[in-house]
Amino acid sequence: MGERTYHDPLHGAIRLDRTDPAEALAIDLIDSAPFQRLRRVRQLGPAFLTFHGAESSRFTHSLGVLHLARLALQQLERHHLELAEHRAVLYAAALLHDVGHAPLSHSGEEMYGLHHEAWSGRLIREHPALRDRLEAHSPGTASVVADLLEHGRHPCPAIKALVSSQLDCDRLDYLVRDSYSTGTTYGRLDLERILAAFTLAPDGQLAITPKGLMAVEHYLVVRNLMYRSVYNHRLNVVCNWLLNQAIATARRLGPKRVWADQVMGRWLWHCEALDLESFLANDDIRTGYHLMRWMEEGPAELQDPCGRLLERRLLKATDVSHCSPAQRLELLAAARQLSEAEGLSAETSCGLQQRQSRGYHPYKGGLRLWDGEHLQALEQRSNLVQSLTVEVELAWLIHPGEVAPKLRQLLGR
């Protein structure tokens, strides 16, 4: 077949034509086993336990990133024809940027201690189904794509920015897609206006024309809201903590006490020596099956976190961001003491999760406006963007619901 069409719920028909060499490469990569595995890796990990519609996959997202990357490049090629030579690398990087994700996406990275960028690079360099297709297109392509995804290196800064920056095609797709799947309606970006505002600054870096300023401000506000209401939702924090507890407990108890098939055994107790086949063999299905087996027949300390996840008997999370670090530790100690008094295991039911969040980081691929004469940092032009550069510290005390009333008394609520 000369043409392939994917009907996307957000972007409509995504059509690829084999007569275009770069699009033919994209079709071949999509058909590879490593990419098809992404159908079995949830985009938002365990967030479906909080937002019941959050069932989309990394496969669907990656196709969306390819679509937006193609549109962005078409916009830039109108005035910079020389960018066309990077088309195949951009399409491949857009498609394969998540091919190295562990089960349950970012949650899996925490659970297993892996980095998807490193695994994406390794799979592209070493797996025949990816490497050979890229090399058949043009010798050296696999290494170029792997370096771009793993290390953020590419001779053309604009291509690098479309793949990884504060306004890359990955972020543009996942914000709209995650908003759609979770039912959070404020994630409706003006993608057309944002892409139309892409231009190149005199130094070759990606920049934004002034006509796109408000659309980009809206994008940054939406990103901030999505982190606050979805990615850092208190129940999502609880689910991730429980997943980490389950895997950490299985590892600690060891193979003599915990059942695992051959693949999961390597992931649990020999993760530093994973081969490509074992890596690709683990997905949401295999990890989920093991959680179920552990809930049914594992040691008691492993049954508890698995059962809470699979039966959605989640722990509570109390926001303690306003408390000092010392106060948070005192509250954690109190929660553990109260839990033990209720006959519950403090080790498996109490925890403290802390992280920093910033809506916009001007020093990590900061955005710039270019009007044809003046180049200006986005935060210098926009007070709204400047306000998003302030770092916010987030902290949650995780605990059983049984001790919540007494904890609220300690917090004066």
Tens place of pLDDT per residue across the chain (413 aa):
689 999 999 999 999 999 999 999 999 999 999 999 999 999 999 999 999 999 999 999 999 999 999 999 999 999 999 999 999 999 999 999 999 999 999 999 999 999 999 999 999 999 999 999 999 999 999 999 999 999 999 999 999 999 999 999 999 999 999 999 999 987 689 999 999 999 999 999 999 999 999 999 999 999 999 999 999 999 999 999 999 999 999 999 999 999 999 999 999 999 999 999 999 999 999 999 999 999 999 999 999 999 999 999 999 999 999 999 999 999 999 999 999 999 999 988 999 999 988 888 876 678 999 999 999 999 999 999 999 999 899 999 999 999 999 998 888 76
**What crossing angle do the helices spanning 284-297 and 234-253 adopt, rounded to 10°?**
70
pLDDT of residue 1: 60
Q: H/E element holding 36?
A: helix 33-36
The two tokens of residue 332 are: 């954690």
- What is the per-residue burial (b if ≥16 Cβ within 10 Å, else e) of 238-275? bbbbbbbbbbebbbebeeeebebeebbebbbeebeebe
Residue 194, domain member (yes or no): yes
Gap between the Cα atoms of 262 and 271, Å rounded:
12
Q: What are phi and psi of 106, to 5 degrees?
A: -65, -30
Helices of type H across 254-353:
262-269, 276-281, 284-297, 300-310, 325-341, 346-349
Q: H/E element holding 311?
A: none
Total number of domains constituting the chain: 1
Residue 259, domain member (yes or no): no
Residue 202, domain member (yes or no): yes
Residue 334, domain member (yes or no): no
Residue 254, domain member (yes or no): no
pLDDT of residue 291: 98
Closest CA to 148 of 137, 134, 132, 136: 134
Distances (CA, A) of 27 to 20, 24, 385, 398: 11, 5, 38, 45
Q: What share of the chain is helix, strand, coil (3-state, %, to 5)?
A: 60, 10, 30
Residue 62 is part of a domain; what is its CATH number? 1.10.3210.10
Which range of residues forms the domain containing residue 152?
A: 3-232
Residue 264, domain member (yes or no): no
Residue 208, domain member (yes or no): yes
Residue 195, domain member (yes or no): yes
CB-based contact 283:267 (threshold 8 Å): no
